[in-house]
Amino acid sequence: MSVSLKSADDVAKMRVAGALAAEVLDYIAPHVTAGVTTGEIDRLCHEYMVNVQHTVPAPLNYAPPGYQPYPASICTSVNHVVCHGIPGDKKLKAGDIVNIDVTVIKDGFHGDTSRMFYVGAPPIQARRLCEVTYEAMWHGIRAVKPGAHLGDIGATIQHHAESHGFSIVREFCGHGIGRQFHEEPQVLHYGRPGTGLKLQPGMVFTIEPMINAGRPGIRCLADGWTVVTADHSLSAQWEHTVLVTDTGYEVLTLSPGTPAPPATS
């Protein structure tokens, strides 16, 4: 496994890219309302990225091996959609939960983040799922420090989610990021403490747990991208891009509208 360590100049550019990705989520938040289509959300985000930020939407036409080019600038994953939901004609309705996943490229570096949004007032279970997923992501982030292991991140995320009766999607994980959208290492959201790659200052990767209200099984729809829960239960995801520093971690995808970290327990 070849994991690149970012230089001070790389990190400075990644801070900019990360902040811009988060800024897109701030911008779109007021538009996530009942009646709007996910396609309109995509259009608004695309125009903001291209015309206002002068960034490149990384997902648009992204085609890893075995995939058709992704046809939109963001991912919109509603209710039982786990990830990679393609924006389209679907109208959001009151009570929906939706993950909006944004990755921008600025000066050759990627910034990658996602948030859950509520459309009106969601059911209690849906809100709790989103809250526990957010807490789980932050448990993972707070495990990041030099000398820790990737397994420490996954283990604390898994424990928090499963202790609340939820399940971890295992087929998708966080990833290294920098000049490339997806780099090494893979950051699993389950595991055993003290196992896996040892963390070093200069590593940058995403932590992005996908957590289901029901069973962990998933399936991919015929479009080749949209992943849903096999049992049609709700799914939630949050994502930050994180730098390993000399003393701990720095979250690179912060903005004025980023929700505050949960209190430590």
- pLDDT tens digits along 233-258: 999 999 999 999 999 999 999 999 99
Domain boundaries along the sequence of the chain = 8-251
Tens of pLDDT along 173-189?
999 999 999 999 999 99
pTM above 0.75, yes or no: yes
| Strand (E) or helix (H) holding 168 | strand 167-168
Mean pLDDT of all residues in 100-111: 98
Closest CA to 91 of 167, 152, 39, 137: 39
CATH number for domain 8-251, candidates 3.30.750.24, 3.50.50.60, 3.90.230.10, 3.40.50.300: 3.90.230.10
Is residue 265 pLDDT above 70, yes or no?
no
Please report, for residues 44, 116, 168, 205, the alpha-carbon distance to residue 141 in angstroms, rounded to integers and kept in the order given: 30, 17, 16, 10
How far apart, in Å, are the Cα atoms of 61 and each of 15, 16, 20, 74, 228? 24, 23, 20, 11, 21
pLDDT value at residue 181: 97
Evaluate if residue 7 carries a pLDDT over 70.
yes
